[in-house]
């Protein structure tokens, strides 16, 4: 039936006498084309001797000439070493053990180098290693090749030589004699550096050392010092835990230095019918909350009460649901006895002390060998800030910290900083502080430096350079040696310090391992802040005042991708989607749906799948952070908001990566909890969010069950094989009768499979960055991300379920009847609940044995191998994108543009320095071809080749993909299922095993382990 509706594109069109509409309708082109003007110019036209025919001839000739010239190959030069180093064989990787200690991330790592270039960070899996190799650590290799790094020292803002620089410093130090200078450093956790700083302050008594952590753990240090006497942080081994109660502690994120996820994941695998129970009370939706068995949205002020109630106080005043959860948690904690643990992330010494005391008898907490990875004291740093502001401090030397960017009242501080008599910054980049400093010492990246660290009491680590310094940089420690008149190099200095640590181990052995567990404990603490005054220390006051005033409670947090913001100029990290919000290239204020409604804040999806959000000003007293985008976060506690630190950096950050707002402005008193008000401003913000807030609508993409059902019922009840109908009879989809295809025989040789355990996966995203580094995955930028043209071969899908469990979703779907009812009910399912359940699912190419992509490729560019890998021959691909269309998992990525050597995509692949990180064994794909996960075929092929060369079978541990190697939680297991002793074979036979969209019959070589939640209340 023809419609007589009027469609219109613009309001103007409704105006009947609009001239502009008429003109636009008549004109083929919006702007006039100057043909008349051109043809009217008789003189020029007649003067020219080129006829139209001649013109066409020229065009034809030049085209032909250009194409003929293109036939000739370029001359390629090969330049060998003049004197080849013994250890380098071109084309073979070398691995070195080293340690990252950048003040925020501390971990023992292995560095893969090719022809002397570090190209990838791997985990060091020796005994005694510390720290977690998270996404930021994996990405740190790219920060080495950052084009914005300082290339020489600066004197008065001008490039200078080290000799001139040293002279300038000496002169300055002379002038400053007797005046108060503060040496403000990052946490080094290094015994040698501590010793050296003591020597330096000994020589210059007017210099005082203060440690500043941009994201402070001061309250935890103060509390530990109060209880145990040393300034350190308790270590926790969650693998021993049976009950974990976390009150606002995102311990799977960066809580107290982070690195607890591997242990946690171990306790989450249901073995012998047992797994840990995890209850999380928190305001923002964090990784820990997302992984918890029970998550209770609790605002920070309520958290304080929860903690008190848990440790013996009363639960009065708490809302009923929270009080109930507390009672239940308390009972479970009591039952677990020494295997229970209470942790808190509240920025209050009291709270931390309470938690420490509560855990005194717990086997999970280790107070004997505490962690040393944070040492800053908020009180001391505040004093320095005050001193600079009121002019008592005359000189400031900053090392690895950027106070001009990260101090809370940075406007006043910036002015005061410029008035200092002496300002010296040790920095890798010309960051906000270095930009204003009189003297700037260019420091090398950790991959270019020597160093040592004591990450945990009694466990020592070494840092060794894996490449010659790229620029004219000098380590902070070498500068100190120079200035204290010590002729030694820092390398020798470390060796000297280590003579007391090594014991029977040789230096070379220790260097090879990168880590050494020693009975000796060397002091690498800073002189503590003296007696801690609980009243004034940190932010007790802020916390209690929050509850009283009328605003919203803000919890500042760090993202798994950006951390404290040191690596803001790293495109891999910028492009990495936040595990929870799935938004990249931004920070934003997270608001609960109810609060958003009250404040009139909205989020909406536009036609291209992009997410738009309202914009607010965040006010805290007289501090205003303007134009902060709003993201409505399911699960956000009511009356609370969240905002990530580390964004909004401008200095030494490429324009494309100057994203987000600087939330450090709100980090008053170095407390993560603040009281703010939101004020809506006009406009909308465009997010680059790669997954919409859709629920699963009851599809079995994630199969999950409860521990109780898992233990008591049959597999067919909780992990059934889908059935299909054949001749009106239901048969399992895995039966050969249900198969349309004739199958290849894969029983001989290798058959690779990848197992993904949904119970162990915390969604941290280390695998995403590892995949980036291994496979030369390009960065596409915010605008392309928004168009969902991200190139990530491996994504971690985050699913919310509206009901308390996915099972309930399924039941709802099954019980729907009729069209109208189902439409409205599906609509309901899309509404994110106030407190949804969350599940993470890493998805990469599933390498289907019966791959739908292979059959539709017109040029056979994608084909199957006997080893189970689905091959993609880029040079064969013509870019029809049929394969991506036919892929049920949506894992294929199309190169819409040329992402390397293209000024439009000015990221690491567009400069010589950034390209040094590329893996020479993997292609850099060009425009117009499809790409996808190859199951790291370059790695499996290498393992096979090495075995062939040595004439031995390949052992199970030698088959790895980049993601499985990066996962320290054991969530990804890769191997050969034809080797029946392999771990992956056992996983495949496990009853939790299922394939993604099994009903489609694609028989993937990637499989998942059903998620089991320990949902039993006490």
CB count, 10 Å around CB of 364? 26
- Tokens 């990405």 — which residue? 139
Cβ proximity of 622 and 799 under 8 Å: no
Q: How far is the CB of 846 from other proteins (least distance, A)?
A: 16
Which residues are 758's β-sheet partners? none
By DSSP bridging, strand 993-994 and strand 1006-1009 are antiparallel
In the complex with other proteins, the residue whose CB is nearer, 80 or 229, is 80
Long-range contacts of 857-862 (CB under 8 A, 24+ apart): 857/882, 857/883, 858/882, 861/930, 862/930
In the complex with other proteins, the residue whose CB is nearer, 89 or 520, is 89
In the complex with other proteins, the residue whose CB is nearer, 92 or 692, is 92
Q: How far is the CB of 852 from other proteins (least distance, A)?
A: 18
C-alpha dist (Å) from residue 1005 to 207, 756, 912, 1002: 62, 11, 38, 9
Q: How far is the CB of 976 from other proteins (least distance, A)?
A: 11
In the complex with other proteins, the residue whose CB is nearer, 112 or 969, is 112
Which residues are 158's β-sheet partners? 155
Tokens linked to 25: 């309708």
Tokens linked to 262: 């591997």
Q: How far is the CB of 57 from other proteins (least distance, A)?
A: 23
Q: How far is the CB of 759 from other proteins (least distance, A)?
A: 32
d(C-alpha 524, C-alpha 970), whole Å: 33
Q: How far is the CB of 859 from other proteins (least distance, A)?
A: 11
Q: How far is the CB of 979 from other proteins (least distance, A)?
A: 10
> Within 13 Å and on the Cβ side, how many CA atoms surround 983?
17
d(C-alpha 673, C-alpha 666), whole Å: 9
d(C-alpha 902, C-alpha 899), whole Å: 6
Q: How far is the CB of 923 from other proteins (least distance, A)?
A: 5
d(C-alpha 368, C-alpha 228), whole Å: 9
Residue 629: name the closest of 471, 464, 838, 786 by CA.
Answer: 786
In the complex with other proteins, the residue whose CB is nearer, 90 or 503, is 90
Q: How far is the CB of 135 from other proteins (least distance, A)?
A: 24
d(C-alpha 152, C-alpha 441), whole Å: 8
Cβ proximity of 752 and 976 under 8 Å: yes
In the complex with other proteins, the residue whose CB is nearer, 652 or 933, is 933
d(C-alpha 927, C-alpha 929), whole Å: 6
Tokens linked to 226: 């109060």
Q: How far is the CB of 119 from other proteins (least distance, A)?
A: 15
In the complex with other proteins, the residue whose CB is nearer, 30 or 79, is 79
Q: How far is the CB of 72 from other proteins (least distance, A)?
A: 9
- Tokens 């791997």 — which residue? 122
In the complex with other proteins, the residue whose CB is nearer, 90 or 319, is 90
In the complex with other proteins, the residue whose CB is nearer, 201 or 867, is 867
In the complex with other proteins, the residue whose CB is nearer, 76 or 819, is 76
Cβ proximity of 850 and 888 under 8 Å: no
d(C-alpha 849, C-alpha 863), whole Å: 10
By DSSP bridging, strand 623-632 and strand 589-591 are parallel
One-character DSSP codes across 245-282 = EEES--TTTTGGG---HHHHHHHTS-BTTB--EEEEEE
Q: How far is the CB of 934 from other proteins (least distance, A)?
A: 5
Q: How far is the CB of 113 from other proteins (least distance, A)?
A: 14
Report the sign of the C-alpha dihedral through residues 780, 783, 785, 788, in that order: negative
In the complex with other proteins, the residue whose CB is nearer, 664 or 985, is 985
Q: How far is the CB of 582 from other proteins (least distance, A)?
A: 29
Footprint of other proteins (CB under 8 A) = 71, 73, 75-84, 89-92, 745, 747-749, 861, 863, 865-867, 869, 871-876, 921-924, 934, 937-938, 941, 944-945, 947-954
Tokens linked to 132: 């977690």
Q: How far is the CB of 100 from other proteins (least distance, A)?
A: 29
In the complex with other proteins, the residue whose CB is nearer, 187 or 940, is 940
Q: In what order do the strands lie in the sheet with 972-976?
A: 972-976, 752-757, 1006-1009, 993-994
Report the sign of the C-alpha dihedral through residues 876, 879, 882, 884, in that order: positive
CB count, 10 Å around CB of 837? 26
d(C-alpha 134, C-alpha 253), whole Å: 10
Phi and psi at residue 673, in whole multiples of 5°?
A: -110, 125
In the complex with other proteins, the residue whose CB is nearer, 628 or 929, is 929
Q: How far is the CB of 295 from other proteins (least distance, A)?
A: 42
Residue 281: name the closest of 319, 334, 238 by CA.
Answer: 319
In the complex with other proteins, the residue whose CB is nearer, 82 or 531, is 82
d(C-alpha 914, C-alpha 44), whole Å: 50
Of how many residues is the chain composed?
1018
Q: Would you give the DSSP letter of residue 831?
A: S
Burial of residue 818 (CB within 10 Å: 0-12, 13-18, 19+) is exposed
d(C-alpha 801, C-alpha 799), whole Å: 6
In the complex with other proteins, the residue whose CB is nearer, 112 or 371, is 112
Q: How far is the CB of 941 from other proteins (least distance, A)?
A: 7
In the complex with other proteins, the residue whose CB is nearer, 354 or 872, is 872
Which residues are 278's β-sheet partners? 244
In the complex with other proteins, the residue whose CB is nearer, 24 or 873, is 873
Residue 620: name the closest of 588, 660, 587, 665 by CA.
Answer: 665
In the complex with other proteins, the residue whose CB is nearer, 31 or 67, is 67
């Amino acid at each position: 039936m023809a419609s007589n509706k009027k469609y219109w594109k613009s309001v103007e069109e409704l105006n009947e006498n609009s001239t502009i509409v008429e003109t636009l309708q008549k004109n083929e082109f919006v702007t006039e084309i100057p043909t008349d003007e051109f043809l009217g110019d008789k003189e020029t036209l007649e003067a020219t001797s080129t006829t139209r025919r001649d013109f066409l001839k020229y065009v034809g000739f030049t085209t032909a000439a250009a194409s003929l010239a293109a036939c000739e190959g370029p001359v390629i030069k090969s330049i060998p070493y003049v004197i080849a180093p013994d250890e380098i064989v071109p084309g073979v990787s070398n691995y070195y053990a080293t340690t990252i200690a950048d003040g925020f991330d501390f971990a023992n790592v292995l560095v893969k180098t090719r022809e002397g270039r570090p190209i990838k960070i791997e985990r060091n899996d020796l005994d005694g290693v510390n720290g977690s190799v998270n996404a930021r650590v994996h990405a740190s290799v790219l920060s080495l090749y950052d084009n914005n790094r300082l290339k020489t020292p600066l004197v008065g803002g001008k490039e200078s030589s080290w000799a001139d620089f040293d002279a300038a410093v000496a002169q300055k130090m002379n002038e400053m004699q007797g005046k108060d200078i503060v040496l403000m450093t990052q946490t080094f956790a290094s015994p040698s550096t501590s010793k050296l700083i003591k020597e330096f302050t000994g020589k210059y008594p007017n210099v005082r050392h203060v440690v500043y952590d941009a994201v402070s753990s001061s309250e935890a240090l103060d509390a530990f010092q109060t209880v145990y006497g040393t300034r350190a942080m308790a270590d926790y081994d969650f693998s021993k835990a049976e009950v974990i109660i976390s009150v606002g502690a995102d311990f799977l994120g960066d809580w107290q230095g982070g690195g607890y996820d591997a242990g946690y994941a171990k306790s989450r695998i249901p073995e012998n019918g047992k797994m840990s129970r995890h209850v999380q009370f928190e305001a923002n939706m964090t990784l820990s909350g997302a992984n918890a068995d029970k998550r209770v949205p609790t605002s920070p002020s309520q958290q304080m009460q929860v903690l008190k109630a848990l440790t013996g106080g009363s639960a009065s005043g708490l809302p009923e649901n929270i009080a109930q959860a507390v009672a239940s948690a308390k009972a479970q904690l009591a039952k677990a006895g020494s295997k229970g643990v209470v942790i808190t992330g509240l920025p209050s010494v009291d709270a931390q002390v309470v938690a420490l005391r509560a855990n005194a008898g717990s086997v999970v907490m280790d107070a004997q060998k505490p962690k040393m990875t944070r040492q800053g004291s908020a009180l001391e740093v505040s004093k320095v800030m005050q001193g600079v502001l009121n002019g008592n401090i005359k000189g400031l030397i900053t090392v690895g910290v950027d106070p001009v960017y990260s101090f809370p009242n940075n406007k006043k501080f910036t002015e005061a900083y410029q008035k200092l008599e002496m300002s010296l910054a040790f920095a890798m980049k010309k960051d906000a502080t270095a930009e204003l400093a009189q003297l700037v010492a260019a420091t090398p990246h950790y991959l270019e430096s020597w160093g040592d660290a004591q990450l945990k009491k009694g466990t020592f680590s070494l840092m060794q350079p894996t490449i010659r310094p790229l620029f004219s940089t000098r380590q902070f420690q070498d500068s100190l040696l120079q200035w204290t008149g010590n002729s030694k190099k820092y390398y020798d200095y470390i060796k000297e310090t280590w003579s007391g640590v090594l014991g029977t181990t040789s230096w070379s052995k220790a260097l090879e391992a990168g880590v050494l567990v020693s009975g000796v404990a060397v002091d690498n603490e800073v002189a503590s802040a003296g007696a801690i005054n609980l009243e004034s220390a940190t932010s007790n006051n802020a916390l209690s005042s929050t509850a009283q005033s009328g605003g919203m409670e803000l919890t500042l947090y760090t993202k798994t991708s950006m951390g404290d913001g040191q690596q803001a100029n790293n495109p891999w990290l910028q492009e990495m989607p936040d595990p929870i919000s799935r938004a990249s290239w931004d920070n934003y204020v997270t608001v609960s749906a109810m609060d958003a409604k009250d404040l009139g804040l909205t989020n909406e999806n536009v036609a291209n799948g992009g997410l738009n959000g309202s914009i607010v000003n965040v006010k805290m007293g007289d501090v205003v952070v303007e134009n902060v985008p709003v993201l409505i976060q399911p699960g956000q506690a009511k009356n609370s908001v969240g905002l990530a630190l580390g964004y909004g950096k401008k200095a030494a950050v490429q324009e494309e990566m100057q994203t987000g707002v600087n939330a450090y402005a709100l980090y008053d008193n170095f407390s993560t909890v603040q009281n703010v008000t939101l004020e809506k401003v006009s406009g909308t913000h465009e997010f680059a969010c790669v997954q919409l807030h859709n629920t699963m609508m009851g599809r079995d993409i994630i199969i999950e069950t409860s521990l109780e059902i898992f233990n008591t019922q049959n597999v067919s009840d909780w992990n059934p094989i889908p059935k299909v109908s054949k001749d009106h009879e239901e048969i399992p989809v895995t039966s050969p009768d249900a198969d349309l295809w004739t199958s290849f025989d894969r029983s001989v040789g290798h058959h690779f499979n990848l197992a993904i355990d949904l119970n162990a996966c915390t969604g941290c995203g280390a695998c995403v960055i590892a995949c980036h580094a291994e496979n030369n995955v390009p960065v596409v930028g915010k605008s392309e991300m928004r168009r969902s043209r991200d190139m990530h071969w491996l994504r971690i899908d985050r699913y919310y379920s509206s009901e308390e469990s996915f099972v309930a979703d399924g039941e709802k779907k099954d019980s729907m009847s009729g069209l109208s009812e189902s439409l409205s009910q599906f609509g309901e399912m899309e509404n994110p609940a106030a407190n949804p359940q969350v599940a993470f699912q890493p998805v990469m190419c599933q390498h289907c044995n019966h791959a739908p992509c292979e059959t539709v490729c017109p040029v056979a560019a994608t084909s199957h191998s006997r080893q189970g890998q689905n091959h993609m021959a880029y040079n064969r691909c013509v870019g029809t994108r049929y394969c991506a269309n036919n892929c049920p998992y949506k894992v294929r990525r199309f190169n819409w543009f040329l992402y390397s050597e293209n000024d439009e995509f000015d990221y690491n692949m567009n400069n010589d320095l950034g390209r040094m990180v590329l893996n020479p064994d993997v292609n850099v794909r060009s425009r117009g071809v499809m790409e996808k996960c190859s199951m790291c075929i370059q790695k499996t092929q290498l393992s096979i080749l090495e075995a062939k060369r040595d004439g031995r079978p390949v052992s199970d541990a030698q088959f790895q993909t980049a993601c499985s190697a990066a996962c320290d939680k054991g969530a990804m297991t890769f191997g050969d299922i034809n080797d029946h002793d392999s771990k992956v074979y056992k996983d495949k036979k496990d009853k939790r095993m299922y394939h993604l969209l099994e009903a489609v019959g694609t028989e993937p070589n990637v499989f998942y382990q059903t998620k089991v939640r320990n949902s039993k209340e006490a």
